[in-house]
Amino acid sequence: MSAQPIARVEALYKSFRGPSRGIGRGRAELRAVDGVTLDVMPGETLGLVGESGCGKSTLGRLFLRLHEPTSGRIYFEGRDITELSQSQLRPYRRKMQIIFQDPYSSLNPRMTVRAALAEALRVHGMVSSASDEQERVAALLERVGLRPEHMRRYPHEFSGGQRQRIGIARALAVSPRFIVADEPVSALDVSIRAQIVNLLSDLQEELGLSYLFIAHDLHVVEHVSRRVAVMYLGRVVERATSQQIYEDPRHPYTRALLSAAPVPDPDAHKRRLILEGDVPSPLNPPRGCPFHPRCPIAEKGLCDREVPALRVLESGHEAACHLA
C-alpha cells in the first residue's frame, strides 16, 4: 500500500449558522466538524462511525468538497484541493464519488435507469455515441448484479436493495478512485445489507477503490474496514485498526457503542457501558470533554474542565480520553 493517502483532511472545521439568539445578539454557531484530521489510504476502507448528528455525513461531504470548510485543508491524491475553483475541481470530481443512504431520493423518478447513468457518463465526456452509451450502461448494471434490460425501468420499479445497486452503478459510471459511502445500508432490510456490503467489498478488490464508509453502527463496518474512526460531537474520539477497536476499545463512547449490540465475547461484558441520554446540541456543547455528561466514568474536576486531546495509546491506536 502506498504511503500517501488518497484523501486527507487536516485540522478541518465546519460551522453552520444556527438559529437567532434574539434581537441584536446575532446567530448561534453550530460546529458540525471540530478540528478533524483524517486520511484514507489507497485501497482501504476507513469506517467512520457515530450517532446521528455527530458530524460524520458533513465530514464525508467535506472530503469531496460538497461542503466548503470553515477552515482547514482538504487533499486528494496529495494535491491541496481546498481552494480550487469548481472548474479546477472538475477532473477530481470524476475520481471522487458518493453513495447516499437513500438512493431513491437521489434518483430522479422521471428518469429511466439508462438516463440516470448516461447523465453521469455524459457530464464527464465519457461516451462517444448512443451505442457506446448503451453498452457502458449495460456493463455497469451487470457489474452491480442487475440485468441490462433493467436500464429501461424507472426507480419506483425496483426494491430498496436494487435501488442501492443503481446508486452504486451511478457512482462507478465515472471510474472513481475514492467513494464516500454515506450509510449505504442503513435504510435497507437487514437481509439485504450483507449483499450490498459484499458487493462494495468485491468492487473494491476488483477496481482498487478506496472507501470512507460511514455508519452509525460499529458492527456494520466491522468486516469491511481496515481502520475505524469514531466521531462524537464533531470530533474524532478514537481511531484504530479494526482489530484494536473491536478487541480493545479504549474510549468509553466506543465501548458504549459496541455494547449497544450483542457481543459473543464474554470478556466484553466486563467492560460493558450503557449509553444514556442524547448527544448534546452542537449549538451548546458541554465544557471539557464533550462526552462527560453521558460518560459513566467521568471524573469531576477533570473531565468537565479539560478537553482531552486525541493521543497515541499504542501504534495505530489513538483516543481522546483522560482516562484511556
Q: List phi, psi (to 5°) of 285.
A: -65, 150
Q: Which of 244, 308, 317, 318 binds ligand SF4 (CB under 6 A)?
A: 308
> What is the rounded CA–CA span in Å between residue 208 and residue 45?
11
Q: Give the DSSP per-residue string, 203-262.
A: HHHHHT-EEEEEES-HHHHTTT-SEEEEEETTEEEEEEEHHHHHHS--SHHHHHHHHTS-
> What is the rounded CA–CA span in Å between residue 261 and residue 221?
13
Question: Binding of ligand SF4 at residue 303 (CB under 6 A)?
Answer: yes
Taking the CB of residue 310, how many other CB atoms lie within 10 A of it?
18
Contact by Cβ (8 Å): 194, 226? no
> What is the rounded CA–CA span in Å between residue 81 and residue 63?
10
Question: Binding of ligand SF4 at residue 94 (CB under 6 A)?
Answer: no
Q: Which of 194, 274, 297, 309 binds ligand SF4 (CB under 6 A)?
A: 297
Question: Binding of ligand SF4 at residue 199 (CB under 6 A)?
Answer: no
Q: Which of 292, 310, 317, 318 binds ligand SF4 (CB under 6 A)?
A: 292
Q: Which of 138, 231, 291, 317 binds ligand SF4 (CB under 6 A)?
A: 291
Task: Pick between residue 199 and residue 298 the one whose CB is nearest to ligand SF4.
Answer: 298
Q: Which of 113, 256, 295, 310 binds ligand SF4 (CB under 6 A)?
A: 295
Question: Binding of ligand SF4 at residue 239 (CB under 6 A)?
Answer: no
Joined together, the cell numbers standing for residue 154 give 424507472
Question: Binding of ligand SF4 at residue 298 (CB under 6 A)?
Answer: yes
Q: Which of 227, 235, 255, 322 binds ligand SF4 (CB under 6 A)?
A: 322
Query: Which positions from 250 through 269 interact with ligand SF4, judged by CB under 6 A?
Result: 251-252
Sites of contact with ligand SF4 (CB under 6 A)? 251-252, 289, 291-292, 295, 297-299, 303, 308, 321-323
